[in-house]
Structures are given as C-alpha cells and as structure tokens.
Amino acid sequence: MAVLPTDVITGILRVLPVKTLTRFKCVSKSWDSLIKDPHFVKLHLHHSLTTNNNVKLVLDDRTNVYVKEEEDENDDDDDENEDYDETYSVDFDSLDNLEQLSRPLISAGSGFWIFGSCNGLLAVRHEEESGTAVWNPSTRTCHYVPRLKGGEKDYDILGFGYDVIGDDYKVVRIKGVGKSAMIYSLKTDSWKRIKDCPYEIPYTSPHDGAYANGSLHWVGDENGRQRVIFGLDLGAEEFHRVPEPDVRFRNLGYKSVGVLGGSLYTICYDGDHISMWVMKESWTELVYLSREEWELTGIYYTRAVAYSRRGDEILFDDGGASHLAWLNLEKKTGQNLRIIPGAPARFSAMIYVESLVSALPMP
C-alpha cells in the first residue's frame, strides 16, 4: 500500500475542521505528532483566516442581565432558582449547528463575559469570581490566569491579543481611574506591571480592548477633556495615540472602537447622526446615518461583529439589548438577524475562528 508524502498529508489535513483533526490524531502516532506540531497549527490557522473557513459566532447568554432588574423589582430572593449563564456557538455562514459550549468559570449569576477573541482563543471573565481564563472552545481546553492580589478599588479595563514578535498571547488589565497597567503573558504564565496608561477610560465606554495590527485599542480621555483613540503595542508594551478620521461632527456624545475584518474601526455618535469609519491604509467612512435612519440596534454599545461572506453587509450587535442586525452597505438598509432555534432570548455575539492554538502556557 502506497504511503502519501508528508507534505501531501499536511495539505489535506490543514483544510479540515478542528473536530475532525482531533479524531484523526488517533489514526497513528505520526498523525498525532503532525497535528500537534506548532508549524501545522499555524498553517491550519492561516488557511482558515485567509479563506474564511471554520468561522463561528459565539453567543454569550445575556438574558439574566436584562431580567435581573425585573426580578429585583419583584423582590425575588430565591437563590435556589438562580439561573446560570450559558454560551453557544453557531456556524457563521449558515447560522446552523447550534452547540452549547462547556465554558470555564461556571457560576450562577450574570457576571460572565467574553472580552477578547484572537486566533481561536477567547479571553473570558467572571466578575463575581474575579476569575479570568484563556479558552479554546474548539479543543475544549482552557487555562485559568493567576489572580492578581489586592490592588486599587476601581473598575477593570481588559483586553486580549497576540504579540507577533514574541509569539505570545497576552491579557491586559488597566485600572480605569488609577491607570495602573498590568500584562499577563501566556508563554510565561505570569503578570508584570508596565508604565501607567496615560489616558483615562470613562466608565460609560466599552472596556474590551479591540485587537488589530499587533495592538489593543480603546477610547480614552486625554487631560480630562479630549476623547481620543489610543493603543497598546503588545510587543513593545507601550501606549500610543492613534490618528483619527476627520469626522464631520465634533460634539461627540459617544465614541467606541472595534475590529471588523481584521481592521480597526470607530463608531461616533453626536445625538443626531451615527458614523462608522474603518482604518485600512487610511480612514474610510462606511456608514453615515441619521438617528431616525439607524433602526438596527440600540445606538449605545453598538459594535460591528463581522462582514458577510460577500462583504456587502455588516453584522451589528449591541450586547444583547436587542436583536443582531445586518446593514446593507450599498442600500443603507437593515434587517434583523433571523432567529436561531435554541439560542438564548438575548445574547451578545462575537466572531471567532476554530483553531488548534493552545490555550495552555508554553512549555
């Protein structure tokens, strides 16, 4: 029986889903070794990212967040009936194959959230447990990040991304008012303090860092007045100001940043209009609509999730306050995402790609 050359086997395996590859590790010791090899892991990831294959939506149940206030009004103190948040995944293109994920940080209440997605890894947090974990839902592996002791009594600003130079995945924690900044390295499984953040991130702004081009990005106040976009280079571990688009209005009541198709974007809102710009070689305005025209999601905390496969629509999410919705870029018209059978009544969505990237510290 003829044996296929290794490069042919590699070429076949790199296009397969993670679940299939996990099963194929049992074929032989050589296949197991190949699939675990760091070079193959990067090859598989690169193929998925460049072809938009193996792309998933992770649905973070937010139902408890929006019913908690109603329960408080009813003086419901029955802790025995407290619900647990759940997390699901669904194929992005078809919105089929809903699967409940066995997530880390299982605890009752609504304190769980996903604050970062990068190369198939999700960074998750549970406020009540004060716990943070790096999680690969495809391989069902996770690593609990060491807890930081004590510190300032202040809200946390979090971010997660990939240090290209150091080949390392990093979690960032910044204190909102105190501005002290810490970086966790998955490679060394340790925290270290870096220079304080020179910007103050308002409590009303989204706190999840937007990862693009090797840096995490947020919106912050400079000198207590001007609201700016700034980044933290995960390789150099230094903060920097990001040049902004020449928006047509200046009295901004709200501004946020995110990542769309691997590029940084900003959404601005002045009370009358909402504007969305994407940074490629330069800033390009994709959306400019009046408040009356914008009927997709709640304006505050609105963020772009992903382009459609054809690139002519953008999927928007507002953290579960309303339904996800598609915006047609040419017609500037919107349509609610169809109901996903079995999904929570309210959820926040985030894009991720299935990968073999390890969620564990490197040996």
- 321-333 exposure pattern, b = at least 16 Cβ within 10 A, e = fewer: bebbbbbeeeeee
Q: What does the alpha-carbon distance between residue 61 and residue 114 come to, in Å, rounded to a whole number?
A: 11
With a CB cutoff of 8 Å and minimum separation 6, the contacts of 69 are: none
Say if 101 falls within a structural domain: no
Asked if 296 and 334 count as a contact pair (C-beta separation under 8 A), the reply is yes
Task: Answer yes or no: is 36 within a domain.
Answer: yes
Q: Are 168 and 76 in contact (CB under 8 A)?
A: no
Token couple for 172: 């960032």
Residue 13 lies in a domain: yes
Residue 34 forms part of a structural domain: yes
Domain that holds residue 25: 6-43
Compute the C-alpha angle 151/175/211, nearest 5°: 130
| Tokens 């809903």, located at residue | 98
For residues 95, 99, 103, 109, the Cα torsion angle rounded to the nearest 10 degrees is 80
Angle 240-244-245 from CA coordinates, rounded to 5°: 165
Per-residue pLDDT tens listing for the chain (363 residues):
457 788 888 999 999 999 999 999 998 999 999 999 999 999 999 999 999 999 999 998 876 655 554 555 455 555 444 455 688 999 998 888 999 998 887 655 556 789 999 999 999 988 766 689 999 999 999 999 998 875 555 678 899 999 999 999 999 999 866 689 999 999 999 999 999 999 888 766 567 899 999 999 999 888 766 788 999 999 999 999 999 887 765 566 668 899 999 999 998 887 778 888 999 889 998 988 887 777 665 666 688 999 998 999 999 887 666 678 888 999 888 888 777 888 887 888 999 999 999 999 976
Say if 23 falls within a structural domain: yes
pTM over 0.85: yes
With respect to residue 197, please indicate whether it lies within any of the assigned structural domains: no
In a domain, 82, yes or no: no
**Could you write out the DSSP letters of every residue in 214-254?**
TEEEEEEEETTTEEEEEEEETTTTEEEE------S----SE
Q: How many structural domains does the chain have? A: 1
d(CA 306, CA 287): 15
In a domain, residue 267? The reply is: no
